[in-house]
Amino acid sequence: MTIGLSMLAAQYWGKKEIPAVERIFAYVLKITAAISLVFTLAALFCPALLMRIFTSDPTLIEKGAVYLRAVSVSYF
């Protein structure tokens, strides 16, 4: 998202269309905030399910779920 934003914003910045740059930043901020919120909630409320995507080891899932829940607020 940020790479695409940078490329698009640079084009409008070069044209001196500052309102367009502001609209682009606002749009990308809304999209990335929504995506971040989804990942935060998933990590907070079902961390074991997310851990199962990456491993089938029950001990690793258990310990990883505790860690994932603890750091989930940092994703937002």
Asked if 35 contacts 41 with a C-beta cutoff of 8 angstroms, the reply is no
Asked if 36 contacts 57 with a C-beta cutoff of 8 angstroms, the reply is no
Instruction: Record the pTM.
Output: 0.72
pLDDT digits (tens, 9 = 90+) for 20-70: 999 999 998 999 999 999 999 999 999 999 999 999 999 999 999 999 999
Specify the pLDDT at position 52: 95
Would you say residue 4 has pLDDT above 90?
A: no
Q: Could you give the CA distance from residue 61 to residue 39 in angstroms, rounded to a whole number?
A: 17
Q: Give the tokens for residue 49.
A: 């399910």
